Chains A and B, each alone.
Chain A
Amino acid sequence: MREIEYRDALNEAFDEELARDENVVLMGEEVAQYNGAYKVTRGLWDKWGDKRVVDTPISEAGFIGMGIGASMLGIRPVMELMFWSFHSVAFDQLVNNAACCRYMSGGLINVPIVMRGPANGGTNVGATHSHTPEGLFAAFPGLKVCSPATPADAKGMMKTAIRDNDPVYVMENTTLYGNMGEVPDPADGDFLIPLGKADIKREGSDISLIAHGASVLRCLEAADILANEHNIDAEVVDLRSIRPLDQDAIIESVKKTNRAVLVDESKPFCGVSAQITTLIQEYAFDYLDAPVKRVCTIDAPAIYSPHVEQDQLPNAKRIVAQVLTIA
């Protein structure tokens, strides 16, 4: 199968959906003429023009609210936050108008928007630009949240998100944009991956490493070390989607391995891993041979220093160390 970059997989998803549905519009800061701050949308303005690919001023509350309002009339805006970290200046639009309008109208209104952009640390840009708010937004009923780790997942889930009739917040990752991966050729048909379906990225029998986004790749690295140096056969469960969440895949894996380490780039307090932990204790309590352990970003604002930032994030070394405490 052909291999393409994560960013190009997203680009292909946008291009195909722009072609499929005339109501799809890409919007955001620098997405059009500049080709995207991270070149995710490169070439699309040239191809689709001003109407379909729209540069906005640096006014997140203004343009995101505009997209939400337009979506009520059937437009499907796909809006980029240059960094998900910038969500805070548009929070009212994201959690009140996007998440609650359907509910408060008794189901009369739909808000079919996609919010997307990178949400990750690890690039030495300090605390304001390194937030990972997937758990935060997944805590709002009415929103869907996903975090693809591979180019194929990025393309398939983005296309599904664009077709969804509710707001879907897609958390990408600047450190993944350049990664290569196999993605089916468009000539072989429409490639969609449903939300709410986890993917076993590595099968194993001794312990379940459960993660999403870039942490999945850290888990795969750790699994290799565990196999080669410690004779531990780890299973890597890629959640892909945070809400809806594939609870069955989580529980099934834990029932098989009887041990779990949750790896989560968000912070430990009320993060995604905290939610998964409670589900495991509720639904797989009798199958556990050890306490559920976690590897999260160390609980402080993101440090700038290139000397230690990688140590603040989940990494293979920290994952292996945590696994060895229970396996």
Chain B
Amino acid sequence: MSALEKSFAMETANSPNHSPLNFAGSPINKTLSAEEKLETFRQMVRIRRFEQAALKNYQKDGTMGGFLHLYIGQESVAVGAASLMGDHDHMITAYRCHAHALAVGMNMNECMAELYGKATGCSKGKGGSMHFFAPDKNFWGGHGIVAGQTPLGLGLGYGLKYKGLEGCALCFLGDGAINQGAFHESLNIAALFGIPVVYIIENNGYSMGTSQKRSSAYKDCLAQRSEAYDMDWDVVNGEDFYEVRAKTHIAMERARKEHKPTILEIMTYRYYGHSVADANHKKYRSPEEIADYKKNHDPINLWRAKLLEEGVLTEESAKTIDTEAKQEATASTQFAEESPAPTIEDITNDVYWETDNNTEASQIGRHFFND
């Protein structure tokens, strides 16, 4: 039994009606109200409808550029974690970031406009699909280099501890990122310094087109590597929304209260390719595998069924939520298409704080070297 499982067993020991594996009965899930449950369902549906619209827009007429890394199939992970965040909890992730952005409360308009490279985008059209940010919602990106965000997540935790705030940093990464040096440097420092950070490996089985078996020397479990850093870990079934919340909550509490980091490996699956440009995604994995996940392991369908069973959701209200999400996505497309593009002058804004704020210091010396 991992330390986390032990911790969970201890947490549920006072609840005689629930075994440790009944995640619905964990304290953090028992207190979840019907409205809060509906809200998490709504968020998952919104994320999927947003990304489906983004894909359609991407393929429509070529006006949207760059990469588009879709999260479809993994929605329970970002929504589950975001639903646990308090005022002093922070989130950072890699380039598959649309879901995390929406889950922390960013609106579809600013996200779709960013994909379109419009001035009304969350990053004024300067970041694109991989670089969504919302510091006011404790969301720090959206980072394009595999594992490059893992030391930043460490730093968010460091900052919280330095300021004496009881919070934690949730740092997401993909299964491909665990083989990067920056991640391992971060793990060592996290454990050594006692940093309140939770590393969440979203293991969708493939780092681009390379399966876990072909990229990780230790084949069974990625999170277990944390033992080398004297760090707690656990594996989470990402298709079970209650399990995602229960186990993430334990890790977050350990970070907040004990300043101890954790690695969670959340097993999940992406239906689309690494990015929309990934033409091989039905070659490095079988169509049957993809079909099986869609049919039997879809996190939204499973959460929907659970909520129907609990009587929290009705077929009718589920349909309404879905219709509203589609309408919101359509409206965001219209907003993005009608929004103005950045100007040539905008290119050199947001580079330096001094020049943006036109301070006295900005008048000293040449900051830019254009024609």
Given pairs A61-B185, A104-B127, A108-B134, 20 additional interface contacts (CB within 8 A): A59-B189, A62-B182, A66-B189, A68-B155, A69-B151, A69-B155, A69-B156, A71-B159, A92-B148, A96-B143, A97-B149, A102-B351, A105-B133, A106-B350, A107-B349, A108-B136, A194-B365, A197-B365, A244-B367, A246-B365
A2 to chain B minimum Cβ distance, whole angstroms, is 27
Complex Cα spacing A60 to B101, Å: 29
Report the nearest B residue to A278, measured CB to CB. B369
Contact digits for B328-371, partner A, Cβ 8 Å, 1 yes 0 no: 00000000000000000000111111101000010011111100
Complex Cα spacing A165 to B125, Å: 23
A interface, over-half SS: mixed
Q: Which of A49-98 contact B (CB under 8 A)?
A: 51, 56-57, 59, 61-75, 92-93, 96-97
B106 to chain A minimum Cβ distance, whole angstroms, is 12
Contact partner of A65 (CB less than 8 A), chosen from B125, B133, B186, B366, is B186
Cβ-based interface call for B79 (8 A): no
Complex Cα spacing A74 to B159, Å: 8
Which of chain B's residues have a CB closer than 8 A to the CB of A154? none
Q: Chain B CB within 10 Å — which of A51, A102, A247 has the most? A: A102
Complex Cα spacing A118 to B261, Å: 34
Contact partner of B353 (CB less than 8 A), chosen from A65, A68, A165, is A165
Contact digits for B112-130, partner A, Cβ 8 Å, 1 yes 0 no: 0000000001111111000
Cβ-based interface call for B163 (8 A): yes
Report the nearest A residue to B371, measured CB to CB. A282
Once A62-B188, A195-B361 are accepted as A-B contacts, the answer to whether A108 and B155 lie under 8 Å apart by CB is no
The answer to whether B158 and A69 touch across the interface, beta carbons within 8 angstroms, is: yes
The answer to whether A66 and B141 touch across the interface, beta carbons within 8 angstroms, is: no
Complex Cα spacing A175 to B81, Å: 52
The answer to whether B163 and A57 touch across the interface, beta carbons within 8 angstroms, is: no
Interface residue tally on A, bucketed by range: 35 or more
Cβ-based interface call for A219 (8 A): no
Which of chain B's residues have a CB closer than 8 A to the CB of A241? 365
What are 22 pairs between A and B in contact, CB < 8 Å? A57-B185, A59-B185, A59-B189, A61-B151, A64-B151, A73-B156, A73-B159, A75-B162, A96-B143, A97-B151, A103-B126, A104-B142, A105-B123, A105-B135, A106-B126, A108-B135, A142-B351, A144-B352, A164-B361, A195-B364, A196-B364, A275-B369
Cβ-based interface call for A288 (8 A): no
Cβ-based interface call for B181 (8 A): yes
Which of chain B's residues have a CB closer than 8 A to the CB of A166? 352-354
In order of increasing CB-CB distance, the 9 nearest A-B pairs are A196-B365, A69-B155, A65-B151, A62-B185, A244-B365, A73-B159, A106-B124, A107-B350, A69-B152
Cβ-based interface call for A232 (8 A): no
Q: Which of A99-119 contact B (CB under 8 A)?
A: 101-110
The answer to whether B150 and A104 touch across the interface, beta carbons within 8 angstroms, is: no
Contact digits for A230-262, partner B, Cβ 8 Å, 1 yes 0 no: 000000000001011111000000000000000
Cβ-based interface call for A25 (8 A): yes
Cβ-based interface call for B8 (8 A): no
B329 to chain A minimum Cβ distance, whole angstroms, is 22
Q: Chain B CB within 10 Å — which of A56, A107, A109, A197 has the most? A: A107
Once A59-B189, A141-B368 are accepted as A-B contacts, the answer to whether A106 and B154 lie under 8 Å apart by CB is no
Cβ-based interface call for B131 (8 A): yes
Contact partner of B141 (CB less than 8 A), chosen from A61, A101, A194, A244, is A101
The answer to whether A65 and B150 touch across the interface, beta carbons within 8 angstroms, is: yes
Report the nearest A residue to B131, measured CB to CB. A104
A201 to chain B minimum Cβ distance, whole angstroms, is 17
Cβ-based interface call for B145 (8 A): yes
Cβ-based interface call for B238 (8 A): no
Contact digits for B255-278, partner A, Cβ 8 Å, 1 yes 0 no: 000000000000000000000000
Which of chain B's residues have a CB closer than 8 A to the CB of A102? 350-353
The answer to whether B148 and A72 touch across the interface, beta carbons within 8 angstroms, is: no
B182 to chain A minimum Cβ distance, whole angstroms, is 4
Which of chain A's residues have a CB closer than 8 A to the CB of B50? none
A100 to chain B minimum Cβ distance, whole angstroms, is 9
Q: Chain A CB within 10 Å — which of B143, B160, B186, B352 has the most? A: B352
Which of chain B's residues have a CB closer than 8 A to the CB of A92? 145, 148, 182
Cβ-based interface call for B20 (8 A): no
Contact digits for B185-207, partner A, Cβ 8 Å, 1 yes 0 no: 11011001000000000000000
Contact partner of B155 (CB less than 8 A), chosen from A72, A142, A275, is A72
Which of chain B's residues have a CB closer than 8 A to the CB of A101? 141
Cβ-based interface call for B241 (8 A): no
Contact digits for A192-229, partner B, Cβ 8 Å, 1 yes 0 no: 00111100000000000000000000000000000000
Q: Which of A143-193 contact B (CB under 8 A)?
A: 144, 164-166
The answer to whether A243 and B141 touch across the interface, beta carbons within 8 angstroms, is: no
B37 to chain A minimum Cβ distance, whole angstroms, is 32
Which of chain A's residues have a CB closer than 8 A to the CB of B364? 194-197, 244, 246
The answer to whether A66 and B186 touch across the interface, beta carbons within 8 angstroms, is: yes
A192 to chain B minimum Cβ distance, whole angstroms, is 10
Report the nearest A residue to B127, measured CB to CB. A104
Cβ-based interface call for B140 (8 A): yes
B67 to chain A minimum Cβ distance, whole angstroms, is 14
Complex Cα spacing A141 to B368, Å: 8
The answer to whether B121 and A97 touch across the interface, beta carbons within 8 angstroms, is: no
Complex Cα spacing A110 to B90, Å: 16
Complex Cα spacing A107 to B125, Å: 11
Which of chain A's residues have a CB closer than 8 A to the CB of B366? 196, 244-247
Cβ-based interface call for B153 (8 A): yes
Once A195-B365, A245-B365 are accepted as A-B contacts, the answer to whether A109 and B185 lie under 8 Å apart by CB is no
Complex Cα spacing A166 to B359, Å: 13
The answer to whether A69 and B127 touch across the interface, beta carbons within 8 angstroms, is: no
